[in-house]
Amino acid sequence: MSSFAPGHARVLQPVFGATPPLQAHLSQIHAIINPATHLVNAIATLSGTATRGLILGMWMRGHITLAQYPALTVPQSAVLHDARGAYLFAVAADHRAQRIDVTTGLIQNGRIAVHGTGLHPGQTVVTVGNYEPDNGMSVHLTTGQPSAHDRSFVDWLQAHRHSVLFLMAPPVLGGIYSALRMPVSLFPVISFPRVVVYLDADDRPASQMELEVTRVVEQALRGVPKVTAISSTTSRGSADVDVRFNWGTDIPRAVLQVEAVLNQVLPHLPAGTSFKVQRMDPTKFPVLAYSLTSQRLGQVELRNIARYQLVPLLSSVPGVRRIGVMGGQIAEYRVTVDPVRLATLDLSMTDVEQALTAANIIARSGSLASARQAVPAALGHPLQGPS
């Protein structure tokens, strides 16, 4: 305490912030130790202009210089401690680590004063990884600067920066132009390696359909090149065969190969069997569907409205590829024949079938022409009910 006296110069530095150091002088030093902080309270006086930018209650760090003396300083991270005390590793001329026991002094601005036998100004000390080496271990020196190769490359880029920017400009502008003109599709064209075969064989039972149609077709399709898997679903009179190929397969060509195989096996299938081959892609699935309901009209009338009125209307919409009608009912009539009366009239079932066909026909007979238009004419009358 005897070293401090009012009037000593003091440097104050705010703990937080970038305010420059302030010069002050001690004005009062208390003669007792503060029991709360175990420190001695001192009061420093600032000039009027030095208080600008300070806030009441701001934390400050004070430094008082009592004397100056020369000392060796090293980065604070170079000094380690163990049971023997403080020490550091210096680098000898042969690039080997040399332990030197030191005594430490003041710490200021990240550096610490040290004193030890064998230390001299300009000596290299280990600051990174210094807890790993042993005494006499080889040490790799680095300056923290880029290598000559890195510096030459950076210098080359700096010297040719205009040429580099000129070469980079076309691909950058081309990428921006392509991104702005890139088409966006809600349903992108994706070629799935999948083909579906739809089989129809009238009203054949499911068990017979599987034995006589589905298995024969599956066996034939296994010979198509690049087929990886085949699965099927069989029901009464119909079957769906799913044929999968390797990714990257030319699907249009695969469809032609599947059709060729089915045409070869078709003569060996039951009479009346037909097939349809369809490749699977997003355009095969419906995008929009409408349902027709009515409290007055029946299923037959609703189907006729959809088929003969709505389909032609929707087909004229630009971008529409295909329209299908599902559901409803198709008008049909059941004819019950009396065999006794048929024999009395000397008629057969073939005569009845031909009579019904002749009564349910519409034939084009020509057209009626006028000055500006021609109206087609048709003869016949379809069946409307029992008569």
Domain map of the chain by residue range?
Answer: 9-63, 71-138, 194-284, 287-323, 339-380
Q: What tens digit of pLDDT does each residue of 42-68 get? A: 777 776 666 666 777 777 777 676 667
- Using a 10 angstrom Cβ sphere, with 0-12 exposed, 13-18 middle and 19 or more buried, the burial of residue 123 is middle
Interhelix angle 148-159/161-181, nearest 10 degrees: 70
Helix (H) or strand (E) holding 356: helix 349-359
Mean pLDDT across the stretch 223-237? Answer: 91
User: Which residues have a Cβ under 8 Å from the Cβ of 160 and sit 6 or more positions away?
Assistant: none
Maximum CA pair distance of the chain? Answer: 151
Whether the CB-CB separation of 97 and 145 falls below 8 Å is answered with no
The domain covering 194-284 belongs, at the CATH homologous superfamily level, to: Multidrug efflux transporter AcrB pore domain (3.30.70.1430)
CATH architecture label of 71-138: Beta Barrel (2.40)
Residue-wise pLDDT tens digits, 67-99: 677 888 888 888 988 888 899 888 887 888 888
How does DSSP assign 289-337, residue by residue? ------SSS-HHHHHHHIIIIIHHHHHTSTT-------SS---------
pLDDT number for residue 259: 94
Model pTM above 0.75: no
Query: Which position has the higher pLDDT, 309 or 38?
Result: 309
Range of weakest confidence among 35-49, 65-79, 190-204, 212-226: 35-49
Q: Using alpha carbons, select from 85, 78, 81, 170 the residue that is nearest to residue 119.
A: 78
SS (H, E, C) 153-212: HHHHHHHCHHHHHHHHHHHHHHHHHHHHHCCCCCCCCCCCCEEEEEEECCCCCHHHHHHH
Query: Same fold for the domain at 71-138 and the one at 194-284?
Result: no
CA neighbor of 119 nearest in space, from 135, 106, 137, 101 = 101
Q: Is 282 exposed, middle or buried (0-12, 13-18, 19+ CB in 10 A)?
A: middle
Question: Where on the phi/psi map is residue 246: left (φ > 0), alpha (ψ -120 to 50), or beta?
Answer: beta
Instruction: Indicate the burial class of 354 (C-beta count within 10 angstroms; 0-12, 13-18, 19 or more).
Output: exposed
Query: Across the chain, what does the average pLDDT equal?
Result: 81
Strand-by-strand arrangement of the 111-115 sheet: 72-75, 111-115, 103-108
